[in-house]
Chain A
Amino acid sequence: MKSVDKKKKITRRSMLAMLGSGIAASAAASSCSGERGKNSLSAGDGGTYGDMTYRTNNRSGDKVSLLGYGCMRFPLKAETIKNGDYRNAEIDQDAVQGLVDYAISHGVNYFDTAPIYNAGKSEIAIGKALSGYKRDSFYLATKMSTMACKSREDALEMFDRSFENCRTDYFDYYLLHALHSLEDYKLFYEEWGLLDFLLKKKKEGKIRNLGWSFHGDEKLFEYMLALPVKWDFVQIQMNYRDWLESRPPAKWMYEKLAERGIPVVIMEPLLGGRLADLNHNANAMLKEVHPDKSVASWAFRFAGSFPGVLCVLSGMTYMEHLKDNLKTFSPIVPLTEEEKKVLSKALANWEKYKDIPCTGCRYCMPCPYGVDIPGVFAYYNRCVKESLIPDEAMDKGYKKLRRRFLLGYDRSVAELSQADKCVACAQCVSKCPQHIPIPGRMMMLDKMVEKLKLSR
């Protein structure tokens, strides 16, 4: 591990790159979020990083930056987001260029995209942004997004189009995208023969490393590892919440991969951004230890602490995300035992008062029985974030919190639209892009409110 105080050598070339990226970055910031720009772009930020941590892929010998650039959350042009629907919005290419330039000039060399990201526009954007760089100076990953394919032909066309979109002859990393059930795997990769096709492409040199990204259960995971294929890497969802909590637990998957010596790429290290801001109390626990470090940095250091991890992906939308992450990974400082204890305490607190991952997209609305679904969730989330959920009747300040919570509830959500009006008809469930079990959550909130009302 390189020491932190080792200053970055500024060569003429990196100096120019920095200047260029600085200009691009300010353009990016002003185009995506004016109000956030000033703080994060203060002069001198760029000079304070140490050296980026690299990990070597034991299969191919690739020297991959531990921080990888996830291309799923590229900045969008605000004017193309129609009524909060960003699915068909245009990517802000200037901002992307600024981010990519800055990332590369600070040592990031792994870029992960997929044909379905931004309805295909992510591949085009990253292809364009990287077109000015020598092909062997970065590693590019894309995927076979079978969920968007109706036939083998669709899949083959998708494969070909990725090369066109990304302006490349080969992919350094190629993934079977989001394996989630054995049935689907067998259909796509065995019946349609896509696995054989990809293995053939690997032999041809179109793919340098073949692997898969995983969202399924233990059975499918073991099935994949038992296949007579030498996987070059596997991409799993891993963060300090999913380490023990998810099914299967990230720990279990990581250990299975580590014992086989398969390099691990980490996705969702921040759990879709949720670990970047836990709740008032949990945030405070982390800030007490490192007042100058972001809450998000703890999640990245957790993921980066494991030696079997090749690369930790982060979908960085804003320059401040990128800068904060560069600080964390240049170089990575693994969590100490002491820090792990603090983190698990913060996690426990957050788990107790966890927000509901509602983005307020209103796809679920209107509820035929009048429940203001996003309104109820938004109120609850606000209270969770500000630690305003009354807990035990014996707690200090319980009465005040209780009154505040119940009054605020009545103010935020009309009486006829509150959680107790949910009939659990479940018509909203399939409409929720976040897969929130809405009726279950409504019942939980209703019970909580009822308990508060009773505890007079």
Chain B
Amino acid sequence: MLRKIRIFLAVIVFVPLTLLFLDFTGTIRLWFGFLAKVQFLPALLASNFIIVLLLVAVTLIFGRIYCSVICPLGIMQDIIARMGRIGRKRKLHYGYSPAMNLLRYAVLALFVVMMLFGMAGIPALIAPYSSYGRIASELFAPVYAWLNNILAYFSGRLESYAFYSSDVWLKSGITLLVAAVSFAVIAVLAWRNGRTYCNTICPVGTVLGFLSRFSIFKIRISGDKCVGCKLCSRSCKASCIDIKNKKVDYSRCVACMDCIDNCVRGAISYSALRPVRETSLKQPDGGRRNFLSLSTLMIASAATASAKEKGGNVIAALERKKPYVRETPVVPPGAVGAKHFAEHCTACQLCVQSCTNDVLRPSGSIYHFMQPSMSYERGFCRPECTACSEVCPSGAILPVSREKKSSIQIGHAVWIRDNCIVITDGVHCGNCSRHCPSGAITMVKENPSDPHSARVPAVNEQRCIGCGACEYVCPARPFAAIHVEGHQMHKII
């Protein structure tokens, strides 16, 4: 029963959380955006102490149920481990192994040190939530989008507007590679040995494992009932039941309740107290009470949670512009500045996935490894959209309102004379000026002494907010004649 509740809650969290990364319509985040914000490390980075304290409290009461029902990477491993059991001769193939505490604490220490030194990008490689984010957005999302595009194709043929197609494009090769490698490694580990990753590498697992040793509710083996059959130990994906000594390594137990279901003698219970040694006192069905308290609290923890060519190719303009290599990367309004952003971002890719204008993409640069930056070949940072700031769980992009967004200067436009079609093609243009939402571009005479001179753009850097509308609509190829350079520190203008 407890196991079923655990699975039920895990599904309830995992499905919408995954959809959060797959959805490109901007609707799922309105309902389930909170699921990303209750993740441990992002909440910690966002200084969201209420969430962190609640998660700590939940762990101190119930053990590491976080790892079983809230962490998407943990749930994904459970799914893979379950699939690993299919076709296996020995259905219960796990077994006890001693904890690799040295490795665990060493990884954790290294992780903390690197975070403190502001190198969030590299530790983010092993952080569970952002790993899952990359796997979902780099590996699952394209499949989802392709399936959607097939539906969109037919819906288009039927004049229906239920589905529309979404562009699938390679945003960053390195991020895809990282996602693929971490998926492969974690999948193999999970397939073979269940929660190895969680109990040796995952820094969140280590921290919560430390706490869960002191939790009130634990699985407990009743020495009297136990016959030492090892069924529990063989069913334990965390390899934490040492049946010889009738001991459980609570730092690794993720409270999955598999052992309880597998124990034919009813010797394992999930309870607050040491099992009463076979007294005559018949407890009012402990299972039921446990179930009630557990389900209330699990629900409570879940509720904590609730705190895109036609025409011939001869026309250059029909090809996409090449992305500009910017001196300073452009990061979204709400990111405060390059430093704040780099320190808080776990590179989970949720903002990249939520960016309906295809502006955000993970950076391939070594300094901002997989952390998103902006570029404007496929769209620009539209004034009405604040999606990335709404979804960011780790406080790297702080929430901004539409009104505030339009006054945050994240960079400024730079005109490159040699690329401008007014100069190269000798035609009238002014498309950048027409599309500038902040009126920062004025068309001025190229030759001031000639009253009939061609007009070229002049950027008012004070007014420019760096949204990239000019860069996006610029007809010049292969590079735009006007592009945005990022600012180290964002400012309100």
Most chain B Cβ neighbours within 10 Å, of A408, A417, A424, A425: A425
Closest 8 CB pairs of A and B: A370-B317, A425-B427, A423-B429, A370-B318, A369-B475, A414-B310, A369-B317, A414-B309
Contact A411 B314 (CB under 8 A): no
Interface size on A, residues (CB 8 A): 32
Question: Once the chains are docked, how many angstroms separate the CA of A413 from the CA of B308?
Answer: 11
Most chain B Cβ neighbours within 10 Å, of A365, A404, A454: A454
- Least distance between B452 CB and chain A CB atoms (Å): 15
Mask of B124-162 contacts with A, CB within 8 angstroms, 1/0: 000000000000000000000000000000001000010
Chain B neighbourhood of A305, CB < 8 A: none
Chain A, Cβ-Cβ closest to B318: A370
Contact B311 A411 (CB under 8 A): no
Contact B427 A411 (CB under 8 A): no
Mask of B35-56 contacts with A, CB within 8 angstroms, 1/0: 0000000000000000000000
* Interface locus among B70-78, B257-265, B430-438, B484-492: B430-438
Mask of A420-456 contacts with B, CB within 8 angstroms, 1/0: 1111111100000000000000010000000001111
Q: Which of A86-116 contact B (CB under 8 A)?
A: none
B315 proximal to A (CB < 8 A): yes
Which of B310, B314, B318, B475 makes the CB contact (< 8 A) with A413? B310
Q: Given contacts A368-B425, A372-B310, A424-B429, could you give 18 more A-B pairs where the C-beta distance is less than 8 Å?
A: A366-B311, A366-B312, A368-B427, A370-B315, A407-B164, A408-B161, A411-B156, A411-B164, A411-B165, A414-B309, A416-B318, A417-B318, A420-B435, A423-B428, A423-B429, A425-B429, A454-B384, A456-B385
Q: Which of B432-458 contact A (CB under 8 A)?
A: 434-435
A375 proximal to B (CB < 8 A): yes
Contact A416 B161 (CB under 8 A): no
Contact A423 B318 (CB under 8 A): no
- Least distance between B454 CB and chain A CB atoms (Å): 11
Contact B161 A417 (CB under 8 A): no
B266 proximal to A (CB < 8 A): no
Contact A369 B164 (CB under 8 A): no
Mask of A241-269 contacts with B, CB within 8 angstroms, 1/0: 00000000000000000000000000000
Sort chain B's interface into a size bin: 20 to 34
Question: Once the chains are docked, how many angstroms separate the CA of A375 from the CA of B310?
Answer: 10
- Least distance between A376 CB and chain B CB atoms (Å): 11
Contact B427 A416 (CB under 8 A): no
Contact A426 B161 (CB under 8 A): no
User: Can you name 27 A-B residue pairings with CB atoms under 8 Å?
Assistant: A365-B311, A366-B312, A366-B314, A368-B427, A369-B315, A369-B317, A370-B316, A370-B317, A403-B161, A408-B161, A411-B156, A414-B311, A415-B378, A417-B309, A417-B318, A420-B431, A420-B473, A421-B473, A422-B431, A423-B428, A423-B429, A423-B430, A423-B431, A425-B421, A425-B428, A453-B384, A454-B384
- Least distance between A420 CB and chain B CB atoms (Å): 5
Contact A410 B164 (CB under 8 A): yes
Mask of B378-400 contacts with A, CB within 8 angstroms, 1/0: 10001111000000000000000
Q: Which of A338-381 contact B (CB under 8 A)?
A: 365-370, 372, 375
Question: Once the chains are docked, how many angstroms separate the CA of A68 from the CA of B257?
Answer: 92
- Least distance between B320 CB and chain A CB atoms (Å): 7
Question: Once the chains are docked, how many angstroms separate the CA of A292 from the CA of B312?
Answer: 47
Q: Which of B449-470 contact A (CB under 8 A)?
A: none
Chain B neighbourhood of A422, CB < 8 A: 431
Contact A417 B311 (CB under 8 A): yes
Chain A, Cβ-Cβ closest to B164: A407
Chain A, Cβ-Cβ closest to B474: A423
Contact A423 B310 (CB under 8 A): no
Chain A neighbourhood of B385, CB < 8 A: 456
Chain A, Cβ-Cβ closest to B473: A420
Chain A neighbourhood of B435, CB < 8 A: 420
Question: Once the chains are docked, how many angstroms separate the CA of A423 from the CA of B443?
Answer: 13
Question: Once the chains are docked, how many angstroms separate the CA of A97 from the CA of B113?
Answer: 95
Chain A neighbourhood of B473, CB < 8 A: 420-421
Contact B311 A370 (CB under 8 A): yes
Chain A neighbourhood of B312, CB < 8 A: 366
- Least distance between A27 CB and chain B CB atoms (Å): 37
Mask of B188-228 contacts with A, CB within 8 angstroms, 1/0: 00000000000000000000000000000000000000000
Chain B neighbourhood of A408, CB < 8 A: 161
Question: Once the chains are docked, how many angstroms separate the CA of A403 from the CA of B162?
Answer: 10
Most chain B Cβ neighbours within 10 Å, of A368, A369, A443: A369
Q: A368-B315, A369-B315, A369-B475 are in contact. Are A423 and B421 (CB under 8 A)?
A: yes
Question: Once the chains are docked, how many angstroms separate the CA of A413 from the CA of B320?
Answer: 15
Question: Once the chains are docked, how many angstroms separate the CA of A423 from the CA of B161?
Answer: 30
Contact B384 A416 (CB under 8 A): no
Chain B neighbourhood of A368, CB < 8 A: 315, 317, 425, 427
Question: Once the chains are docked, how many angstroms separate the CA of A16 from the CA of B156?
Answer: 53
Question: Once the chains are docked, how many angstroms separate the CA of A411 from the CA of B163?
Answer: 11
Chain B, Cβ-Cβ closest to A415: B308
- Least distance between A447 CB and chain B CB atoms (Å): 9
Chain B neighbourhood of A425, CB < 8 A: 421, 425, 427-429
Question: Once the chains are docked, how many angstroms separate the CA of A408 from the CA of B162?
Answer: 11
Contact B308 A417 (CB under 8 A): no
Contact B308 A410 (CB under 8 A): yes
Question: Once the chains are docked, how many angstroms separate the CA of A424 from the CA of B314?
Answer: 20
- Least distance between A90 CB and chain B CB atoms (Å): 31
Chain A neighbourhood of B308, CB < 8 A: 410, 415
Contact B310 A417 (CB under 8 A): yes
Which of A366, A421, A443, A454 makes the CB contact (< 8 A) with B475? A421
Question: Once the chains are docked, how many angstroms separate the CA of A426 from the CA of B318?
Answer: 18
Question: Once the chains are docked, how many angstroms separate the CA of A368 from the CA of B316?
Answer: 8
- Least distance between B75 CB and chain A CB atoms (Å): 33
Chain A neighbourhood of B425, CB < 8 A: 368, 425
Most chain A Cβ neighbours within 10 Å, of B312, B318, B319, B429: B318
Contact B428 A424 (CB under 8 A): yes
Question: Once the chains are docked, how many angstroms separate the CA of A415 from the CA of B167?
Answer: 11
Chain A neighbourhood of B382, CB < 8 A: 453
Contact A424 B384 (CB under 8 A): no
Chain B, Cβ-Cβ closest to A366: B315
Chain A neighbourhood of B430, CB < 8 A: 423-424
Chain A, Cβ-Cβ closest to B428: A425
Q: Which of A304-338 contact B (CB under 8 A)?
A: none
Chain B neighbourhood of A453, CB < 8 A: 382, 384
Contact B317 A421 (CB under 8 A): yes
Q: A421-B473, A423-B475 are in contact. Are A416 and B317 (CB under 8 A)?
A: yes
Chain B neighbourhood of A403, CB < 8 A: 161
Chain A neighbourhood of B316, CB < 8 A: 370
Question: Once the chains are docked, how many angstroms separate the CA of A416 from the CA of B317?
Answer: 7
- Least distance between B39 CB and chain A CB atoms (Å): 28
Question: Once the chains are docked, how many angstroms separate the CA of A424 from the CA of B454?
Answer: 13
- Least distance between A253 CB and chain B CB atoms (Å): 36
Chain B, Cβ-Cβ closest to A405: B161
Question: Once the chains are docked, how many angstroms separate the CA of A417 from the CA of B428?
Answer: 18
Chain A neighbourhood of B310, CB < 8 A: 372, 375, 413-414, 417
- Least distance between B14 CB and chain A CB atoms (Å): 29
Chain B, Cβ-Cβ closest to A425: B427
Chain A, Cβ-Cβ closest to B357: A453
Question: Once the chains are docked, how many angstroms separate the CA of A417 from the CA of B385?
Answer: 23
Question: Once the chains are docked, how many angstroms separate the CA of A218 from the CA of B314?
Answer: 46
Question: Once the chains are docked, how many angstroms separate the CA of A423 from the CA of B351?
Answer: 32
Q: Which of B314-328 contact A (CB under 8 A)?
A: 314-320
Q: A404-B161, A453-B382 are in contact. Are A372 and B311 (CB under 8 A)?
A: yes
Chain A neighbourhood of B164, CB < 8 A: 407, 410-411
Chain A neighbourhood of B319, CB < 8 A: 416
Mask of B50-69 contacts with A, CB within 8 angstroms, 1/0: 00000000000000000000
Chain A neighbourhood of B429, CB < 8 A: 423-425
Chain B, Cβ-Cβ closest to A411: B156
Chain A, Cβ-Cβ closest to B308: A415
- Least distance between B402 CB and chain A CB atoms (Å): 9
Most chain B Cβ neighbours within 10 Å, of A375, A423, A443: A423
- Least distance between A387 CB and chain B CB atoms (Å): 16
